[in-house]
């Protein structure tokens, strides 16, 4: 699993975008076993909360799945 630190900038259905602390953009999809749901992602987006995301796969492709999203 890969870990990403950043802020959520977009939530659309099960997909969301995170901008890393270095300014890179990552497009991810919530995994079926994710620890939260879309509504909780929207709250983190609205609060502009820093997050830590654990994911597998290649961001921007269908294989990129976020398994855990939490506040930093």
For tokens 């991810």, name the residue.
28
What are the tens digits of pLDDT across the range 16-68?
A: 999 999 999 999 999 999 999 999 999 999 999 999 999 999 987 777 999 99
pLDDT at 57: 94
Domains in the chain: ranges and CATH: 2-71 (2.40.50.320)
What are the tens digits of pLDDT across the range 2-20?
A: 999 999 999 999 999 999 9
CA 23 to chain centre: 14
Query: Which of 43, 66, 63 is CA-nearest to residue 55?
Result: 66
pTM reported for the whole predicted model: 0.92
């Amino acid at each position: 699993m890969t870990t990403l630190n950043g802020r959520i900038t977009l939530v659309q259905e099960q997909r969301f975008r995170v901008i890393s602390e270095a300014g890179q953009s990552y497009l991810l999809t919530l995994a079926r076993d994710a620890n939260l749901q879309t509504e909780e992602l929207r709250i983190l987006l609205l609060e502009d909360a820093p997050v830590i995301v654990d994911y597998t796969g290649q961001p921007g492709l269908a294989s990129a799945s976020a398994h855990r999203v939490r506040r930093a």
